């Protein structure tokens, strides 16, 4: 019996069939798309989707008159354009290393914390659009339901746990949620205290993702912008910075204790 395919798997299968019908190898198509043959393989397996400019080049190479670009629109991600590809890869990663300098990483956010974050950027959005964004963010965190994979390492600047996003009670619940994950060994938690002074990574957020069947990537993000890095040298540099920052951070147990104490302070405020 044929296995039910997801929309992106159907997209990839059609790409493979059209490529073969054109008599092209993955290597030949990769040259036109200006990417690696491995990436074409991921497209065809449904593990990743091409960017829109890649889809246009695929159509040009295969003579498919915009077919793959039009179909790609129907597979539009629920996430912001700059984050959509990183969100896809996040679901495939076997190890995720997060660093946050100002806000709790999306994977670890509670609904109320996420809602407060979204409302701070769009204060007039209080309806269906807001709730859809909250649901999408919580859906990402479902990967933590698996007790074994991905392994998640989290480094938080102390500023992340001191800023009462959403008010004292919302923030206390957020910190307690992180503590629950950390005590269950679902995440490895480290806090970079103010006393550490300057440290590697303090200029922005970073997410490092490693996989079973593809090269590691790094994702960095700013206000309404994000960049996925796959150049091996740049990704290696990001790993080095992460290791340096980890060396300046509190231990897992000390970090849990700090979050517990901060949550209690917030509840008693």
- The predicted model gives 233-242 an average pLDDT of 97
Percentage of the chain surpassing pLDDT 70? 95
Say if residue 1's pLDDT is above 50: no
CB atoms under 10 Å from CB of 31, counted, come to: 14
* Residue 262 to residue 157: CA distance in whole angstroms: 14
Which pLDDT does position 174 carry in this prediction?
98
Say if residue 41's pLDDT is above 70: yes
Cα–Cα distances in Å, from 167 out to 77, 152, 197, 225, 261? 31, 27, 27, 27, 17
Which pLDDT does position 193 carry in this prediction?
97
Say if residue 152's pLDDT is above 80: yes
Query: What pTM value is reported for the model?
Result: 0.75
Which pLDDT does position 2 carry in this prediction?
39
Which domains does the chain possess? 7-74 (1.10.260.40), 81-268 (3.30.870)
DSSP label at residue 6: P
Residue 3's pLDDT band, with cuts at 50, 70 and 90, is: very low
Sign of the torsion angle spanned by Cα atoms 128, 130, 132, 134: negative
Which pLDDT does position 6 carry in this prediction?
64
Mean pLDDT of the chain: 91
Is the bond leading into 139 cis (omega within 30 degrees of zero)? no
188: Cβ–Cβ under 8 A, 6 or more apart, which residues? 151, 152, 153, 154, 182, 252
Which pLDDT does position 181 carry in this prediction?
97
Q: Which residue has the tokens 């159509």?
A: 59
């Amino acid at each position: 019996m044929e296995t039910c395919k997801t929309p992106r798997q159907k997209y990839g299968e059609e790409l493979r069939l059209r490529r073969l019908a054109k008599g092209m190898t993955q290597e030949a198509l990769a040259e036109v798309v200006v990417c690696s043959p491995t990436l074409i393989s991921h497209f065809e397996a449904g593990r990743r989707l091409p960017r829109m400019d890649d889809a246009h080049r695929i159509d040009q190479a295969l003579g498919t008159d915009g077919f793959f670009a039009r179909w790609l629109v129907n597979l539009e991600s629920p996430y912001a354009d700059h984050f959509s590809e990183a969100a896809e890869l996040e679901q495939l990663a076997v190890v995720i290393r997060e660093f946050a300098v100002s806000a709790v990483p999306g994977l670890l956010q509670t609904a109320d914390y996420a809602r407060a974050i979204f409302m701070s950027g769009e204060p007039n959005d209080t309806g269906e659009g807001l709730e859809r964004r909250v649901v999408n963010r919580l859906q990402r965190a479902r990967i933590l339901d698996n007790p074994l994979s991905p392994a998640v390492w989290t480094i938080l600047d102390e500023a992340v746990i001191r800023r009462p996003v959403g008010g004292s009670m919302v923030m206390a619940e957020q910190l307690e949620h992180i503590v629950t994950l950390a005590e269950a060994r679902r995440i490895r938690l480290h806090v970079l205290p103010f006393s550490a002074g300057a440290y590697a990574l303090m200029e922005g957020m970073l997410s490092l993702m490693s996989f079973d069947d593809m090269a590691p990537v790094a994702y960095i993000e700013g206000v309404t912008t994000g960049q996925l890095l796959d150049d091996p040298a740049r990704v290696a540099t990001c790993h080095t910075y992460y290791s340096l920052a980890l060396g300046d951070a509190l231990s897992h147990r000390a970090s849990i204790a700090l979050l517990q104490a901060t949550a209690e302070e917030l509840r008693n405020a």
